[in-house]
Amino acid sequence: MSQFETFQHRHGMGSARTKVISVTSGKGGVGKTSIVSNMALSFAREGKRVLILDGDLGMANVDIMFGIRPERTIHDIVSGEASLAEVLVEVSKNITLIPGGSGVFDLQSLSVFQKQALLDQVSALGSQYDVMLIDTAPGIADNVLYLNSAAQHICVVVTPEPASITDSYALIKVLNQRYRETRFSIICNEVKDEADGQALFERLDSVARKFLYVSLDYLGSVPTDPVLRQATRQQQLVGKSHPEAASARAISKLAQGFKGYEPQVECKGSLQFFWEQLVGLA
């Protein structure tokens, strides 16, 4: 095996590569969990196997969106009471959830031996998932930045609210300055229509281009939709209860947007790489 092949092997970069996508935001309550959950549904409907990591302890967690109550979380891995496989919950056809919450960051406190054991379990998962979606907490806390920097694609959710725009800019700026991230996909949520979404993207993009060396891609937008809001209130996924709703269709389109993103040769992005970063072994 050449050095490169060994590297590819170690990082799970064979044919069975998992796309690792984080969905994040500067400001809270902008729609991350709604987007992650419905996007997962959309990928799953195409026959993709999806793994969701809930990296947030927000108001509406991913588990609630899918109407389940997980018995175990990553905390049980940290305390040595469960293996990764025991923490995984199938929340819908082709969708598996890792209930994480703040426990995600405690993984760094595992011993080297425990970390290696966990990574071996991740390795065993390797080829089972096509996509991993990470729902992060909002803001620029170290832990959030860290989770994003380990992902292959970073999607920043922004709404037309001025605070959301400035906080998105701040998040992109620190991810660039501290973690050398240069590419971000932007999702414009709670817009009036497509033109409104485009305009919002342009606003963020023009400031970023002026002051930062980053490249922003417009992944798409999701309109403000009372049907989505109502579904959330009833702890339902709009993509399940009302697949024809404007928001549900828009979120499906976002998922389609990843088709063009076939990764080139890159070390960042595999499931294995993500977990190595997460536990701090990389």
Radius of gyration of the chain (CA): 18
Which of 142, 86, 78, 84 shows the shortest CA–CA distance to 110? 78
The verdict on 58 binding ligand ATP (CB under 6 A) reads yes
**Cβ 259 to ligand ATP, closest distance in Å?**
22
Do the Cβ atoms of 59 and 199 come closer than 8 Å?
A: no
Structure-token pair, residue 113: 């031996």
The verdict on 138 binding ligand ATP (CB under 6 A) reads yes
**Cβ 233 to Mg ion, closest distance in Å?**
15
Report which secondary-structure segment, H or E, holds 3: helix 3-10
DSSP letters of 137-159?
PSS--HHHHHHHHHSSEEEEEE-
CB closer to Mg ion, 24 vs 152: 24
Distance between CA atoms of residues 246 and 228, nearest Å: 9
Is residue 216 helix, strand or coil?
Answer: strand
Stretch that binds Mg ion, among 55-63, 143-151, 196-204, 217-225 (CB under 5 A): 55-63
Q: What spatial distance separates the first Cα and last Cα of the chain, rounded to whole Å? A: 21
Pairing of strands 183-191, 215-223: parallel
Member of 26, 58, 101, 103 binding Mg ion (CB under 5 A) = 58
CB closer to Mg ion, 105 vs 273: 105
Stretch that binds Mg ion, among 24-32, 92-100, 236-244, 268-276 (CB under 5 A): 24-32
Member of 34, 94, 152, 164 binding ligand ATP (CB under 6 A) = 34
The verdict on 30 binding ligand ATP (CB under 6 A) reads yes
Segment 73 to 102, residues that bind ligand ATP, using CB under 6 A:
none
The verdict on 54 binding ligand ATP (CB under 6 A) reads no
Size of the site for ligand ATP (CB under 6 A): 22
Structure-token pair, residue 193: 């229509």
The verdict on 247 binding ligand ATP (CB under 6 A) reads yes
Cβ partners under 8 Å of residue 46, min gap 6:
255
Cβ partners under 8 Å of residue 6, min gap 6:
none
Stretch that binds ligand ATP, among 9-17, 24-32, 86-94, 198-206 (CB under 6 A): 24-32
Segment 203 to 242, residues that bind ligand ATP, using CB under 6 A:
222, 224-225, 228-229, 232
**What Cα–Cα distance (Å) separates residue 267 from each residue in 4, 11, 74?**
10, 7, 25
Contacts with Mg ion, residue ranges (CB under 5 A): 32-33, 56, 58
Contacts with ligand ATP, residue ranges (CB under 6 A): 25, 28-34, 56, 58-60, 138, 189-190, 222, 224-225, 228-229, 232, 247
